[in-house]
């Protein structure tokens, strides 16, 4: 098992949104998160990635093995595509820059400044960053935003290759990627209005 989360309670802006949620990620498997806007998908992903603490519950096996991709790609406009990738490769200690450029067909763009790319091209660069990190667990928040059909296919095959290599992925998405993956709908875990569970304003009620 690559990652295990037990009985999570999560808050957004001091208010509990998700309660009693458990999930685990196995090598070679992906888990798709579903749920309407505001259900807490982003909050869950940020918590799993270690960007914010859970109110309650435990996450094990996560430290330093997660590559997170959120709404912003962390791309510097004044660096070339290759320089952007090389930076993240060095930070994470990976080296698969050429393979990452291949996977998302970025070779023709490699020497261009990232600021001159289109939104979809930037997104491809953001996703190719996952490949250079060498992390076994990918945590992805709406990865296919602004991607065209071809790019979505590139992404799906990158995910498949990652899973085949013993990796794992947790993806919040609304489109069908054609993956053999378990689906977790987090709507039933919505925190009840009367549920307090250590949220920051609990003390005042």
Sign, CA torsion 104/168/29/25: negative
Tell which one of 2, 25, 30, 75 touches another protein (CB under 8 A): 75
Question: What is d(CA 11, CA 42) in angstroms, rounded to the nearest whole number?
Answer: 11
CB 180 within 8 A of CB 8: no
For residue 24, the minimal CB distance to another protein (Å) is 19
For residue 115, the minimal CB distance to another protein (Å) is 9
Tell which one of 95, 98, 150, 201 touches another protein (CB under 8 A): 201
Q: 14 or 28: whose CB is closer to another protein?
A: 14
Name residues contacting another protein, limited to 82-121 (CB under 8 A).
Answer: 83, 86-88, 90-93
Instruction: Report which DSSP code applies to 158.
Output: H
Q: Which stretch binds another protein (CB under 8 A): 2-10, 67-75, 99-107, 170-178?
A: 67-75
**Alpha helix (H) residue ranges in 49-185:** 81-92, 97-103, 119-133, 149-164
For residue 149, the minimal CB distance to another protein (Å) is 25
Q: 91 or 183: whose CB is closer to another protein?
A: 91
Q: At what angle do helices 149-164 and 119-133 cross, to 10 degrees?
A: 10
Residue with tokens 């076994």: 136
CB-side exposure of 192: number of CA atoms within 13 Å?
Answer: 3
Q: 86 or 152: whose CB is closer to another protein?
A: 86
Question: What is d(CA 182, CA 33) in angstroms, rounded to the nearest whole number?
Answer: 9
Nearest in space to 123 (alpha carbons), one of 64, 60, 70, 180: 70
For residue 83, the minimal CB distance to another protein (Å) is 7
Q: Per-residue x/- mask for another protein, residues 114 to 153, rule CB under 8 A?
A: ---------------x------------------------
Q: Does 188 bind another protein (CB under 8 A)?
A: no
> In this structure, what token pair is assigned to residue 166?
């013993």
The binding site for another protein (CB under 8 A) comprises 13-15, 49-53, 64, 66-68, 70-76, 78-79, 83, 86-88, 90-93, 129, 193-194, 200-205
């Amino acid at each position: 098992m690559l990652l295990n989360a037990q009985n999570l309670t999560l808050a957004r802006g001091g208010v509990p949104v998700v309660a009693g949620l458990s999930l685990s990620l196995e090598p070679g498997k992906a888990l798709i998160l579903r749920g309407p806007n505001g259900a807490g998908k982003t909050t869950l992903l940020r918590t799993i990635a270690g960007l914010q603490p859970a109110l309650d519950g435990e996450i094990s096996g996560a430290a330093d093995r997660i590559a997170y991709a959120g709404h912003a790609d962390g791309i510097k406009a004044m660096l070339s595509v290759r320089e952007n990738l090389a930076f993240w490769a060095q930070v994470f200690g990976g080296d698969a820059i050429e393979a990452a450029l291949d996977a998302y067909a970025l070779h023709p763009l490699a020497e261009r400044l990232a600021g001159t790319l289109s939104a979809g091209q930037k997104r491809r660069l953001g996703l190719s960053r996952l490949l250079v990190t060498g992390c076994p667990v990918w945590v992805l928040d709406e990865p296919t935003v602004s991607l065209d059909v071809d790019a979505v296919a590139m992404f799906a095959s990158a995910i498949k290759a990652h899973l085949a290599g013993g990796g794992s992925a947790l993806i919040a998405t609304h489109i069908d990627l054609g993956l053999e993956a378990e689906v977790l709908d987090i709507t039933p875990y919505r925190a009840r209005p009367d549920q307090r569970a250590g949220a920051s304003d609990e003390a005042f009620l």
